[in-house]
Structure 1
Amino acid sequence: MLPCKSPAIFLSLAVLLTSLTACANNPTAKNLEQSLAADPQLQNNPVVFGEAKDSQQQAQQNASKVKLPTDFPQDIPLYPNAKLEAVTPPSATENRTSTRWLSSDPSNFIANFYREQLQANNWQISQQPADDLGGVFEAQRNNVQVKVSIQAQSVTNPTPNQPQTATELLIEYLPAATATAQPTATNNPSDTSTTTSNDIPQPGNPEFIGPVLSANVATQPANTSNSQQVATVTREAQEFSDLNKVPQELRQHIQDLAKLGVLSPESSVNKSNSNTTSNLFAPSKTITRREYARWLVAANNAMYANNPAKQIRLVSESAQPAFSDVSAKDSDFPVIQGLAEAGLIPSSLSGDTTAVLFRPDAPLTREQLLLWKLPLDTRQALPSANLEVVRQTWGFQDAGKIDPKALRAVVADYQNGEQSNIRRVFGYTTLFQPKKPVTRAEAAAALWYFGIQGEGISAVDALKLKRPQN
């Protein structure tokens, strides 16, 4: 039946088209033409199937973008591969601002990032995860408190934009303005405290290296603090009678530092006269950890006498000791505690729970010399390192004997080229001997220069700045 009807249908269509063509000016034909014409709104606004839905989703995404609060402290580290999802402002019962983030990276990556960043930027860490699988960091720097919660999450319905697993970050902070208004009640780092910031460089400055003083230190009168007494000691040129015994390669370095007044004589008392101290430098004698800490602070602060932001701040004797074997009554407590609070030496303040003893009278080793000095050269987080990197750079045959904590300092020192401490102090060597005690001459040579190539300062430069003032 269908084959028979097809010719009739075609014939009818042909007649209709012929009629329309012949009667183009007929009103009936025009009405029919208009009824069959395209919608003028569609002509002006053509629609591509699927595009309207995408445009609507894009508009919703743009409308729902979350912005970081204007009072968010700039010195709080932000994980680079994390997206801000929500912001919860302070409430009547909770004065902390909360920001929620989502990242596709594993939680151990993020935990390791915050552990390194908080330590490198001199935050006082009061709590941190026992491992890198996630947990809570609580830290304080100056008068800003932060709490970072890292939690791995499982995604039940993964999409191309969201992988099977994700990590949620919750960054809660108490801004500086709020923290300053809180009363000083305890020494707990997690408590809000009042600090004086008139004489302390503010965090956020990449050159900031001073320790974060606790509340009981900041509130002490300046004229009675032990740290003030140490800090105001006048440094005058020193003369040693045995510098002819210093190795020729190191002699000029020690002479410059002696003129700067940052070295101390050999500590023994002249036996022939108990009231006269020795003026011997004793270059070949092993230096103790205590004495190197004293030299390190004195040399750094003398080099940057005109740049307070790079000076190491000494600590009052009322501070809670970071080491059980260096009490507040110790003559070098302001220096050693200052280094610990600045995060320049391993301690419980920097998250190293094993560093409970400082061992002030123990010999300083080569790896310790670098570990304490390099942060003052680079002024930033030390690079990642492993044994293979050390072997490829320095070529040390005994790289496996270097403490893992010191590996990063050894690699960073290599990147300093001709201003490397190892090259200046020990010359060319394929054996680092990391556990070998350091002599007083070697320690002094390491402190002759601070900084990186082209952007550092030597004892000679510091002397030029000191002479016009005198």
Structure 2
Amino acid sequence: MLHRKYSGLFFSLAVLLSTITGCANTPFAKNLEKSLQADSRLEDNPVVFGAKQVNDNTSSTAKNLPADFPKEIPVYSNAQLQSVTATDDNKGKIARWNSSVPSNSIVSFYRNQLKSNNWEILKQPSDGQGEFQARRNNSEVKVSIEPKTVTNPQPNQPLTSTEIVIEYSSNTNVSQANVTPTPANTENPDFIGPVQPANTAAQPENTPQTNFESQEFADLNKAPQDLQPKIQDLAALGVLSTPTNTAKTNNPANQFQPNTNITRREYARWLVAANNAMYANSPSKQIRLAGEANKSAFSDVKKTDADFAAIQGLAEAGLIPSALSGDSTQVLFRPDAPLTREQMLLWKIPLDTRQGLPTASLDAVKQTWGFQDAAKIDPKALRALLADHQNGEQSNIRRVFGYTTLFQPKKPVTRAEAAAALWYFGTEGEGISAKEALKLKQ
């Protein structure tokens, strides 16, 4: 029975095909051909059966971008725009995208796009994630690319995604290392990039970090030769000033005195100034200067002290030991005492790693650094030394002291050595030098 049905079906198809062939070029054939053609609307707008159809010809990446988003900034097309929010000072905007594409592919895209569109790349990731900083003419942009873990993945959805964050301003043009912008350079529409917080200029007049003016020193030839370029870069940034610095040529105050021991107050001042100048366009990485409303963490640093804002700011951030960080024995700061080598690293390393210091032991420091005098190092400083070793060629110890098997932790630090330590902030894979910060300032 089944065989007869199939035979009848094949016979009917053969008759139909013969009829169509015989009726070629007839009205019947043309109508039949038209009825079997694909819908032209589907050719222009293909869809996947079973998928939810949305009548929208605008890409989800571009349709919600604000009108002031600069066209010259590359936008990764295979990403979904999540939000566009104002910066804390309401002078810029932060656009966020999410993509299922791996972060290393997106990093490669931005590296190629920025280069091909004549952007000068000032900073870029060393691996498949991190931050770009680029400049073209008077425009600057910051692009952060970070992998994220999907907390509640849908079926067939990747467990990881990539977040793209572009921080820009369409109506501001400022010098990136200048903390107090003037009205003349804050209304240029060519500027693209984050701007300095509006409340930075409202600091007390006795805080030297509020004015980064280029300096010239007449005695830098007395510094170790390999440290001289680093001191010159920091001087050009204007972060080595004193509270009463006049910075005038042929003025006796224009002596850097590179081989003189640096005091704790001077290093605290330089540390805050250098960090904030390096990250002038990254407010989240800056150290906030303390105001007069803050209660002093140290009994020997009054609110009237010229360096109160910097010292108290470091204490408030937990970067120097104090009662605020749980060390009840640190009631004195001793601002005019010489800074020791271990203290210099203990204050600086957290600003390099931007994370908790690793657990360390005396044996671990001995094995990594090979210091013969490791037993003399304060236990609090051991973690900083171990973290510094992990920075490889960007290690502060290597940059400042070169190769050595003696750390001499209690030895006072010279002004030249302190400057060399502050010449670079960050890790071996990602960071910024004073030389690079100067390019942002120019």
TM range (shorter): 0.5 to 0.7
Alignment of 1:44-83 (within 5 A): none
**Counterparts of 1:238 and 1:245 in 2: how far apart (Å)?**
17
Gaps of 5+ in 1: 1-220
2:349 corresponds to: 374
**Counterparts of 2:245 and 2:203 in 1: how far apart (Å)?**
24
Gaps of 5+ in 2: 1-197
1:243 aligns with 2:220: yes
Equivalent pair of 1:265/1:281 in contact (CA under 8 Å) = no
**Counterparts of 2:256 and 2:237 in 1: how far apart (Å)?**
15
**Counterparts of 1:266 and 1:294 in 2: how far apart (Å)?**
9
Cα distance per residue 1:406-459 (max 9 Å; x no partner): 000000000000000000000000000000000000000000000001210000
- Structure possessing the higher radius of gyration over alpha carbons: 1
1:465 aligns with 2:432: no
Structure 2 CA distance for partners of 1:225 and 1:277, relative to 1, 3 Å: farther
**Counterparts of 1:321 and 1:245 in 2: how far apart (Å)?**
37
1:337 corresponds to: 312
Find the residue that maps to 1:278 and give its secondary structure: helix
1:290 corresponds to: 265
Instruction: Give the partner amino acid of 2:395.
Output: S
Alignment of 1:101-250 (within 5 A): 226-227=203-204, 230=207, 233-250=210-227
- The TM-score with structure 2 as length reference comes to 0.52
**Counterparts of 1:414 and 1:431 in 2: how far apart (Å)?**
15
Instruction: Give the partner amino acid of 1:313.
Output: R
1:399 aligns with 2:374: yes
Equivalent pair of 1:283/1:440 in contact (CA under 8 Å) = yes
1:448 aligns with 2:427: no
Instruction: Give the partner amino acid of 2:210.
Output: V
Alignment of 1:225-374 (within 5 A): 226-227=203-204, 230=207, 233-264=210-241, 277-374=252-349
**Counterparts of 1:222 and 1:257 in 2: how far apart (Å)?**
24
**Counterparts of 1:267 and 1:435 in 2: how far apart (Å)?**
29
**Counterparts of 1:318 and 1:308 in 2: how far apart (Å)?**
21
Structure 2 CA distance for partners of 1:385 and 1:261, relative to 1, 3 Å: same
**Counterparts of 2:261 and 2:348 in 1: how far apart (Å)?**
18
Cα distance per residue 1:76-113 (max 9 Å; x no partner): xxxxxxxxxxxxxxxxxxxxxxxxxxxxxxxxxxxxxx
Instruction: Give the partner amino acid of 2:419.
Output: A
1:430 aligns with 2:430: no
Find the residue that maps to 2:210 and give its secondary structure: coil
Instruction: Give the partner amino acid of 1:288.
Output: T
Aligned residues: 243
2:414 corresponds to: 439
Structure 2 CA distance for partners of 1:435 and 1:223, relative to 1, 3 Å: closer
**Counterparts of 2:361 and 2:386 in 1: how far apart (Å)?**
9
**Counterparts of 2:199 and 2:231 in 1: how far apart (Å)?**
33
Find the residue that maps to 1:457 and give its secondary structure: strand
Deviation at 1:337, TM superposition (A): 0.3
Cα distance per residue 1:144-186 (max 9 Å; x no partner): xxxxxxxxxxxxxxxxxxxxxxxxxxxxxxxxxxxxxxxxxxx
Equivalent pair of 1:266/1:280 in contact (CA under 8 Å) = no
Instruction: Give the partner amino acid of 2:329.
Output: T
**Counterparts of 1:231 and 1:279 in 2: how far apart (Å)?**
16
Deviation at 1:268, TM superposition (A): 10
Deviation at 1:228, TM superposition (A): 7.2
Cα distance per residue 1:289-335 (max 9 Å; x no partner): 00000000000000000000000000112211100100111110010
**Counterparts of 1:435 and 1:262 in 2: how far apart (Å)?**
26
Q: Percent identity?
A: 71
**Counterparts of 2:369 and 2:223 in 1: how far apart (Å)?**
26
Equivalent pair of 1:414/1:420 in contact (CA under 8 Å) = yes
**Counterparts of 1:438 and 1:266 in 2: how far apart (Å)?**
20
1:87 corresponds to: none
**Counterparts of 2:332 and 2:235 in 1: how far apart (Å)?**
31
Deviation at 1:233, TM superposition (A): 2.7
**Counterparts of 1:233 and 1:301 in 2: how far apart (Å)?**
10
Structure 2 CA distance for partners of 1:223 and 1:259, relative to 1, 3 Å: closer
Equivalent pair of 2:200/2:210 in contact (CA under 8 Å) = no
2:61 corresponds to: none
Equivalent pair of 1:297/1:335 in contact (CA under 8 Å) = yes
Backbone CA RMSD of aligned residues? 2.5
Instruction: Give the partner amino acid of 1:257.
Output: L
Instruction: Give the partner amino acid of 2:207.
Output: V
Structure 2 CA distance for partners of 1:243 and 1:266, relative to 1, 3 Å: farther
Find the residue that maps to 1:368 and give its secondary structure: helix
**Counterparts of 2:426 and 2:390 in 1: how far apart (Å)?**
12
Deviation at 1:246, TM superposition (A): 1.0
